[in-house]
Structure 1
């Protein structure tokens, strides 16, 4: 069944509202999604964890939605993920059939790159998250600067990044500014984490910064054996990743006055990999989507799908993530945002 015009949409939503909460699967719910093709937009290429999680979402979310719609995934890389964020906020249909897997740096970018951002992350509705993980800098073992100590002495390190709004730019530049990595440079423009990892393997760049799951699920062989190809040498998060207890945590290396700045930039680890609906979607549809997302996170089949791709499941509901986002935006002190802008982008916000 197709939706043609606002009156039809309103009628279906009204029916869903009236039926919501009744036993079984109300016909109004099934009618809204049945026969439809939903879309998940991802902000980077398919090869990284955004693409991998999106494909598992697309495989398993329909089973928990009435009417069992089909879901396809569309990549929209550009500007470190900001292109997809802006598109979802301003252009994406508001019917709840189009979803976005947001960049985990969306809060940081909104506060520090206001001239490039055309969204307010607080107005997206978060369905939930399925993973939280620290951002980790990895570097080739044959690079001149392959440790914090070497980089603090001025050793060179060229880091690959997808764009200015990505972890791959934000974390290296922040660490360079706070710890004095004068020889660290960032090259942007890679389509996704897979492309920059290939560049590392080919010796085009020395390293990059991504969430730890991107590294451990894509190139675990790099970190094993007598002569590992690369090594994790610095992580950003509120606590060390359980897999990396011995890798230095940025927040424990900086001066006490700079710890609030590091904590602010570390909010991305909490957001992780999840889905949002653009502002304006009907509340009844949002309720169905949130219920379905929670059910998916609790489904053993979903966990098995993630396991096949070596992905981790750390579930949080949409309300919890929404509160984290609102608190981060509303509580960001201007002086912290300004200092972060200077360190990362070389200019005041």
Structure 2
């Protein structure tokens, strides 16, 4: 009896493996000769554009596509592109989204403007994550974050849906600083240029974006890092205070909610209506890519550090953010936008 049971289980396992292989082969056959599009809500020159381009290059041979192109659709801090992807883009697996890291936050804070539900995305994984960093020009007179309480320093940012606007507003609301938020810059490249040319005296980006584009600022003394935000301090930013450690205990849930953008990072996803076998195939290709030394090396050449996060972990963070209590959402909205919704 035991021998029969063992044989039956072995046969079932073999059939399951065979079925998986057939499904993967079928999915790969679907992509043969096709063009896959990766949608981003920012310009091609920043970490979104660079990450999408390199991921596309490494995913293409893994999925058997003829080509992978990056579609840049800037506007409202990535909100314009996300709304388009959720409602217009193809749902056959040839359209992939690299969403803004504030995806779930914006949905909860601005439900009337967010024409999507973050839970409708099926995650492939995240390749990059990085704490946010607020930095100012050294000649602004700001040496530490407390100086922002007395100086109205202009910070360049993109749109309401971006951490470049939301984090400075959060700092103002929780710590009583006087950061002047100047919206309308399309992409980190233009924000960095604005700070370089003196149009702005500060910006909030990911630490990775600074490292990729302007690390020399900090070595030369042109810029001063004044505050980071993340679930835990970044070891590379030793001595730079973390917002979470500066706020009152009752405000920490708000910072935790806003810090969800760190875990989402630079991730890829598809719509829930994409056939399951194609989603599984893309996810498998993403995992294989993220662990490939050649991919890590190519990212490093562009000054991007791979910090892989599984699809399941990204999904969990999104679910937690979308499930945040009404009280936290109300208080966060009041802090960021001066209203409850």
TM-score band by shorter chain is over 0.9
Residue 253 of structure 1: how far off its partner (Å): 0.6
Q: Is 1:336 equivalent to 2:336 in the alignment?
A: no
| Aligned-partner Cα distance in 1 for 2:217–2:274 | 44
Q: Where in structure 2 are the equivalents of 1:1-349 lying within 5 Å? A: 20-22=19-21, 26=25, 28-65=26-63, 67-152=64-149, 154-181=150-177, 183-225=178-220, 228-330=221-323, 332-349=324-341
Measure, in 2, the Cα distance between the counterparts of 1:160 and 1:73.
Answer: 25
Q: Deviation string for 1:33-60 (max 9, x for gaps)?
A: 1111100011101111000101101110
Cα offset for 1:62? 1.3
Aligned pair count reads: 326
The CA distance in 1 between the partners of 2:299 and 2:77, in whole Å, is 25
- Match for residue 6 of structure 2? none
Q: Provide the residue aligned with 2:11 in structure 1.
A: none
- Measure, in 1, the Cα distance between the counterparts of 2:21 and 2:90: 28
Point out the structure with the larger helix share.
2
The structural deviation recorded for 1:147 is 2.0
Write the distance in 2 (CA, Å) between the matches of 1:195 and 1:146: 24
Distance 1:78 1:215, change over 3 A: same
CA distance in 2: counterparts of 1:208 and 1:158, whole angstroms: 8
Alpha-carbon distance change, 250 to 289 in structure 1, aligned in 2, over 3 angstroms? same
Residue 102 of structure 1 contacts residue 274 of structure 1 at CA under 8 Å; is this kept in 2?
A: yes
Moved more, 283-292 or 321-330: 321-330
- 2-structure distance, mates of 1:39, 1:344: 33
1:170-215 residue CA offsets vs partner (Å, 9 max, x unmatched)? 100010111111x311011111001000000000001111111000
Counterpart-to-counterpart distance in 1, 2:314 and 2:186: 27
Aligned to 1:7: none
- For structure 1, the 5+ residue unaligned runs are 1-16
Aligned counterparts of 2:19 and 2:158: Cα–Cα separation in 1: 42
TM-score, length-scaled by structure 1: 0.90
What RMSD, in angstroms, separates the aligned Cα atoms of the two structures?
A: 1.6
